[in-house]
Amino acid sequence: MTAKDASTSTSTAVTEPGAGDASGVPAPDASVPRTAGGGEAGTAPSVPTDAATDVPTNAATEASTDAATEASTDAATDAPTDAATNAPTDAPVEEKAVSAAPADCARATEEPARAGDPVRRGAASTVGATRTGPTAEAAAGAGPNRPAPVLSVRGLSVRFLLPGGRRVDAVSDASFDVAPGECLALIGESGCGKSVLASALLGLLPANSRTAGHAHLDDLDLLTADEPTLARTVRGRRVGLVPQSPAAHLTPVRTIRSHIEETVARLTGVRGRAARRKAAEQASLRAEFPRDHLDRHPHELSGGLAQRAATALALIGDAPLLLADEPTTGLDRDLVDRTVDELRRHVDDGHALLMITHDLAAAERIADRVAVMYAGRIVELTDAGAFFGSPGPRHPYSRGLLEALPERSFAPVPGLPPELGSLPEGCAFAPRCDRATDTCGALPVLENTVACHHPVPAPAAGPHATRTPEDTRA
């Protein structure tokens, strides 16, 4: 991995724009059975490995599908549907009920994880890899002085079934909480499963996906919720979304003003042409989108302007949870800082934010906690102050990401990440790690903030601490 990979996004969209609501999200065919991932059952579209491992999300916000749209927006309903549901059928796959996810898709850990370091701004502590029961709640840091999490994820796994019996384990056994007034930054190399995780939370995975685990938004399990529930009550209202590659998720025949005004009407109840127009302009200013560009179509915008339009749409509903997938892509550094500061204000108002990013400087600016993902697994989950400051990351991969920054060592992480379709049984980072031993042939458990057999040791309490052989090699 290069320093550029550590600070900028390189992922591209693999879907085409669709229609069906105020944000251009295509409505799934109600006649086709849904899988646990929210897609159709019984078919296996041919999904390339790189697309399957970093599926972009499909909407800036999701508005209710039961509200009538104005006549001026009727053209949007004829846009093509999502490419993921129109992909060619290469081979049948086994149809699974929502509650009957494959056991090998979400392997349970044998040892409960412990709570991590305290977080800034009063947010919830880190969580372990166990899924349910008292040990999971203890790992989440539940207590009278901690706010209940807006989002609680336990054992979330996503795999894609491909022709020829192949499969891609895009996300494996992810567990974390996001509390009100907290930003959790999810970082890692391209293709490690970050965007797939976000797509799973909103039911935006393709038809050949299978999910396991739980993702509770208050009392609703997002992984088992049906499409009408997600469309009418979750997307946009309870979960806002800044999508990856936003230009691909804006309806091409409609202006940005039309997108924003319809979203304002559906999510805020503002009525009247003049009131909607004023609200749309206020929403655009919040995301630093220039007012004189509101009457332009998506193809007339630069990547940075499309990103700001998507951010404006995501913030309209003031949803309790915001998923921001690479929200600073295409922005210059000044706009990055202003966008991140606006998102931080959104968090400080009591909202929760899960921010997926390659921009470590932006993550340092906004995050309360940091989760590091490698080869589909969360390998470190810790306080942002400790991660970016002292003592620094404890997982060798996390430390390598920081050292790849130009202002640090400017040294890339050696080697290449593994293919998610052929992961090793043990630690996936071992072939690239100078601390690896034979012990790394077993899968490490996320414990005390890090999933590693040979983590970088925490600072010693005294001057005569014992150094291990791994410390010497490091």
Render pLDDT for 100-155 as a digit per residue (tens, 0 to 9).
Answer: 333 333 333 333 333 333 333 333 333 333 333 333 443 443 445 668 999 999 99
Express each pLDDT in 329-344 by its tens digit. Answer: 889 999 999 999 999 9
| Residue 67 in this model has a pLDDT that exceeds 70 | no
Q: Which of 359, 358, 259 is nearest to 308 (CA)?
A: 259
| Residue 440 in this model has a pLDDT that exceeds 60 | yes
Measured distance CA(258)–CA(377) in Å, rounded: 40
Q: Looking at 190-199, 240-249, 346-355, 437-446, which range is the least confident one?
A: 240-249
Helix (H) or strand (E) holding 380: strand 377-383
Measured distance CA(299)–CA(252) in Å, rounded: 7
Distances (CA, A) of 271 to 77, 116, 276, 364: 22, 47, 6, 40
Most confidently modeled range among 88-92, 97-101, 184-188: 184-188
Q: Can you tell me whether residue 446 is helix, strand or coil? A: coil
3-458+465-473: CATH number:
3.40.50.300
Q: Which residues pair with 325 in a beta bridge?
A: 356
Amino acid 1: pLDDT: 45
- The domain ranges of the chain are 3-458+465-473
Q: Which residue type is seen at 118?
A: P
- CA atoms within 13 Å, Cβ hemisphere of 208: 31
- CA atoms within 13 Å, Cβ hemisphere of 262: 27
Q: What is the DSSP letter of 249?
A: G
Q: How confident is the model at residue 456 (pLDDT cuts 50, 70, 90)?
A: very high
Gyration radius of the chain over CA positions: 22
Helices 273-286, 303-315: axis angle to 10 degrees equals 120
Q: How confident is the model at residue 249 (pLDDT cuts 50, 70, 90)?
A: confident
Q: Structure pTM?
A: 0.70
Share of residues in the chain with pLDDT > 90 (%): 63
Work out the number of other CB atoms within 10 angstroms of the CB of residue 274: 7
DSSP string, 338-359: HHHHHHHHHHHTT-EEEEE-S-
Mean pLDDT across the chain, nearest whole number?
A: 76
Measured distance CA(367)–CA(185) in Å, rounded: 6
Edge-to-edge strands of the sheet including 183-187? 239-242, 321-325, 352-356, 183-187, 369-374, 377-383
Amino acid 96: pLDDT: 35
Q: Which residue type is seen at 368?
A: D
| Residue 448 in this model has a pLDDT that exceeds 70 | yes
Distances (CA, A) of 44 to 39, 100, 202, 207: 10, 18, 20, 7
Helices 256-268, 303-315: axis angle to 10 degrees equals 10
Amino acid 267: pLDDT: 93
| Residue 372 in this model has a pLDDT that exceeds 80 | yes
Q: Looking at 70-79, 272-281, 356-365, which range is the least confident one?
A: 70-79
Express each pLDDT in 287-343 by its tens digit. Answer: 999 999 999 999 999 999 999 999 999 999 999 999 999 999 889 999 999 999 999
Q: How confident is the model at residue 460 (pLDDT cuts 50, 70, 90)?
A: low
Amino acid 20: pLDDT: 39
